[in-house]
Structure 1
Amino acid sequence: MLETSARLLRLLSLLQSRRDWTGAELAGRLRVGLRTVRRDVERLRELGYPVDATPGVAGGYRLGVGAALPPLLLDDEEAVAVAISLRTAATGSVAGLGEDALRALAKMQQLLPSRLRHRVGAFQDATVALTGAAAPEVNADLLTAVAAACRDHRRLRLRYRGRDGVSEREVEPHRLVHTPRRWYLLAWDVGKDGWRTFRVDRVEGPLGLPGARFTPRPLPEQDAAAYVSRSITSAPYRYQARVLFHAPLEAVAPRTSPGAGRLEALDERTCLFLAGSNSLDELAVHVAVKGFDFEVLDPPELVPHLREIAARMERAAGHTERHAR
């Protein structure tokens, strides 16, 4: 009986780890015959687990959607990863998620074996959240509804707070993209007849019912994250900078965040940095402090600002040397 129970738990764990399994694959993992797999699947169904089966040579098994959430079976590494992720989510930018994450973490810690509890506790004791300017919060229900519309290819009608006030926008949602501080929706704007990037914290909820289904349009480029990065770092700003760094992309990338600018490798020794800003002084400082030699390709107005900042730094260094003598 113990062997059968242990095998059922192992079978449930396998079904939860991957969407589709053939009978032969399950039999191989469990080291039993196909008939035993079929009997064990029936036992899981009797216990309330919805296991779907597809007949035939290419058929298999899949854990379906039930009325209640079944217990999740996690190995040691998965359990630690989930616990640490819940702790991190408690300090995130999704409104209301922090409390839910802490409740889930409290339940999980009660069930963790002592060896795993010590590992998670060591992480918590050794880390402190560095708080800065508060990131705009996003309503969790709103975020979930937008994600579902992306998945199901359903149109959405948004009330969006843009630079010109609140407007009604009908969109075909494509992807949610996030930085450490903000969530963005990449969508086809039906009224504007083009791709647009929306800050999700500026969408006024609650959303209405999802609209009609749509056929997804091809993106202007394959990488949705790269498209959103270009959109949020250049398009909204008065000045568009193109800077050539005399350093490989691998060296410059660790000093550039996706929300600050976009990097493109030109060859093994140089890369192109593209960014936008409403202030030429901000652009000048941003590229100067990266620590690499560079050339300004655009805009030409940036060069005088670099000269002025360089002269100011030279004067400051001179004053410091005189006071140090």
Structure 2
Amino acid sequence: MLLVMRALFAAVIVAVLAACQTTSPGSTSPSTTAKPPPNYSFVLATPAGMLALDAKGAVVGQVISLPKDSAPSYPSLMPNKRSLVFGITLVPSDATGFGSDVWAVDLDGTNLKKLILHDRENVFYDTPLIDSTGKLMYVHRRAAIVQNGTYVGNDDSIEKIDLTTQQMTRVITNAADPTLSPDGKLLVYVRYDNGAPKGLWRVATDGSDNRPFFSIGDTWWYMQSPRFSPDGSSIAFSAAGHNAQSLAPAVKLAHLGIPSELFIAPLDGKSVKSIIQTNDDTNPAWSPDGTKIIFISGGALSILTIADGKVQQLQRGDNFFFGDLVWLR
């Protein structure tokens, strides 16, 4: 659901902003005049841009000044620790229509590269992940299925791209929202069935050993954003509809209709622990040492310490209702 909502939200943002233009649409080349401050701590990708945040969560600039009316999403840190890779939705072009691409940029705002460009209408790339060698990228690809001029669904897959040859190989179908193990051998992803999420699954990066992540029988109505811990021993994810009979009335107005929670599970999938209930579905980001998780929910940016469950709210404001985070340092 969230992936669909993201695409629709990005479409609305791009369309509305484009309609408000008094000049011709901007180039797909970013401005080089804006420079981010040195040593910022977090990156937050929102329709407002690729925001640089300091250690207190305050917005201190833009990582890069992106093209007018674009919307970045799902940034991740590359193995060199100096660059980001991210999805980006642009104003529709005459050649390829509406869709999203994958770009990369250094943390100092230089060295922009366009890694994947959608080649036709309604093809979206998101959640790009670079393996530890820096030579392979895994990415979720969503393409609209149109029959006789009527939209009938989506083709969701995880693709592997050789960044040297640009060869694209399909790893698995009916899959979205991947996370890559630090050793580059395993993907955990949200499995889709007829456009609806059907739980977490795991698959080797060569496409073998595809199976459910959990062996404990727990189920959720909705799941998203699995994220490997830095040491690869566990995953964090956001989900709703687990133990639904104990819902707290104060958070029943989340857009899913029920509150979401952040969970942590060991890699063997034999247990799971709820670490906090959130007002809405969210995208967790681990600290580099694996002891904390940062997330946004309900207009707040917060950090959770895993060992004791303590939550520190860093900021509140309009920037913290929607977006994807990276914890740099």
* TM-score normalized with structure 2 length: 0.25
Task: Give the helix-richer structure, 1 or 2.
Answer: 1
The answer to which structure has the higher strand fraction is 2
Is the radius of gyration larger for structure 1 or structure 2?
1
